[in-house]
Amino acid sequence: MSVRVRFAPSPTGFVHIGSLRTALYNYLLARKHDGKYVLRIEDTDQSRLVEGAIENLIKSMDWAKLPHDEGVVIDNGALVEKGEYGPYIQSQRLDIYQDYIQRLLNSGDAYYCFCSKERLDEVREKQKSLGQTAKYDGHCRNLTKKEVQNKIRAGIPYVIRLKFPVDTNIVFDDIIRGRVVVNTDEIDDQVLIKSDGFPTYHFAVVVDDYLMKITHVIRGEEWLPSTPKHVYLYKVLGWEAPKFVHLSNILNTEKKKLSKRQGDVAVEDFAKKGYLPEALINFIALVGWSPEENKEIFTMEELIKEFSLERVSKSGGVFDVNKLNWMNNHYIQNSSVERITDLAIPHLIEAGYITDAESKEKYQWLKDMVSVVQDSLDYVGQITDKVDIFFKEEIVPGGEEAKEILRLEHMPHLLDVFVQKVSNIETLDKDSAKKIFKEIQKEEGIKGPNLFKPIRVALTGESHGPDLPLIIQVLGKESLFSRIEYVKKHLI
Ligand code: GLU
């Protein structure tokens, strides 16, 4: 039997980083076993629909480079279906659910429930006041056919519920959690069809996973309490249940569930900030899964090869943003300057450093500038802080050390000599800059930090920073002269 897995998000408008990991583990399992990875849209909760959410979701998945074999894809701006088990959007499968609910009604495994919201609230309140767990009291479980018909004819709104047997154990095995046993007395008669005619998640998920021939259901642990209901549905429908894997929540460094309130959790946010997809994927793969070998950097091919559900941890993995930054920095360092420049341009435009037109005219210069700071970026968005020195001609000493350097006795003379030498050469680039430093060293006897630091402070205001000859190349003669002029006039 070939592996068929699915990622089945509800399109809420953004993809949580935890969902990205769920998608990734599904994807890895499918690729590892030459199986199929399906993207199914679970939009049966009509009250939670968000305009454009499906498109956003697909874009996030494309960005993360997790292409699905079946499901909905964007083709020329339109949503289209791909695969033979569609439709892959649940709201387009309503007639399919109707067929199966009919089967359950006929077999007596489901029943119409006409209880009003007021009645249900009352029952719940009463149970609570008696210290009991709130649960549907089975009021409509045994209505006769006639009673049901009359109520439907009278136009009383209804839902359809699953009829659990009393005091019966439901048992299933989770690949990473082991055996789970739940007694039906502890669970509600689950609503399968809502009063708006739409199926609930619980009903649709079972029907779809069966019809789409899903072999492994890999999803977040928040669905674990629902799984006994699903397992029972499989049983009464006479179907074999898939294998289940419930992934533990991703935790923050305080070991609490990672939530939107604590900052970025949406895949889009990471993309916007300038995290590279392969870095985010590599990082998130390791939050909850441990490879056999003790290594941290994995290409997608390596992840596919090494991944196994058996090594997915039962305890929650921790989202450590410092580790993500370290990893992203690694991938940025190993990327081409062009790629990082292209990613940096929108940030530079947004920060007002360049215009859209300048980003094209000055592309080569921008690339040189990016190459100066590329290795220091944790994420591309940081560029706007790091390149400040290239856009501000008015030097501001960046700290005590810089101020001290500006007070050095040989500072004015050194700047004069430096300016003189720069004016004498034709093209100023990093090699000619290096040559100038060598000459000054030889002719003036000024060496090491006494030579480089004053020039650095005069050009950038900072006593530390990226490669000085490269900075000089990017600044160019004109900017270099005007900076030194400014320093001489205002700071020394
Ligand atoms: N629609 C559910 C969600 O939003 C899917 C749960 C499942 O994978 O069964 O997470």
User: What tokens were used for 27?
Assistant: 């994807």
**290: CA distance to ligand 1 center in Å?**
24
Summarised one tens digit per residue, pLDDT across range 180-202 is: 999 999 999 999 999 999 999 99
pLDDT at res. 234: 98
Q: How far apart are CA 113 and CA 119, in angstroms?
A: 12
Among the residues of 275-333, which ranges form H helices? 277-285, 300-306, 321-333
Cis before 87 (ω within 30): yes
Residue 22 alpha carbon, nearest atom of ligand 1: 8
Residue 42 alpha carbon, nearest atom of ligand 1: 1
Cα 125-134-116 angle, rounded to 5 deg: 65
Inform me whether the pLDDT recorded for 489 exceeds 90: yes
Mean pLDDT within 477-487: 96
Ligand 1 binding pocket mutation candidate from 24, 200, 219 (most atoms within 8 A of CB): 219
pLDDT at res. 259: 77
User: What tokens were used for 474?
Assistant: 């990017």
Query: 478: buried, middle or exposed (CB in 10 Å: 19+, 13-18, 0-12)?
Result: exposed
pTM greater than 0.95 (yes/no): no
**8: CA distance to ligand 1 center in Å?**
5
pLDDT at res. 316: 85
pLDDT at res. 262: 67
Cβ < 6 Å from ligand 1: which residues?
8-10, 42, 201, 205, 219, 223
Percent of the chain with pLDDT over 70: 100
65, 260, 438, 442: which one is catalytic? 260
Q: What are the angstrom distances between the C-alpha of 97 and each of 5, 162, 163, 238?
A: 21, 14, 17, 16
Model confidence at 256, in pLDDT bands (50, 70, 90)? confident
Give the chain's mean pLDDT.
Answer: 95
Q: How far apart are CA 151 and CA 153, in angstroms?
A: 5
Residue 218 alpha carbon, nearest atom of ligand 1: 8
Mean pLDDT within 423-431: 95
Q: Residue 342's CB: how many other CB atoms inside 10 A? A: 16
Closest residue by Cα to atom 2, ligand 1, is 9
Ligand 1 binding pocket mutation candidate from 4, 10, 49 (most atoms within 8 A of CB): 10
Ligand 1 binding pocket mutation candidate from 46, 201, 203 (most atoms within 8 A of CB): 201
pLDDT at res. 48: 84
User: What tokens were used for 379?
Assistant: 């994420």
Closest residue by Cα to atom 3, ligand 1, is 9
Q: How far apart are CA 479 and CA 484, in angstroms?
A: 9
pLDDT at res. 372: 95
Contact 298, 233 (CB under 8 A): no
Q: For this structure, is 260 an active site residue? A: yes
Which residue from 70, 23, 56 is spatially nearest to 271, judged by alpha carbons? Answer: 56
Q: What are phi and psi of 410, to 5 degrees?
A: -85, 0
Which residue from 260, 217, 324, 347 is spatially nearest to 15, judged by alpha carbons? Answer: 260
State the DSSP H helix or E strand holding residue 128, giving kind and residue range, or none if neither: helix 117-129
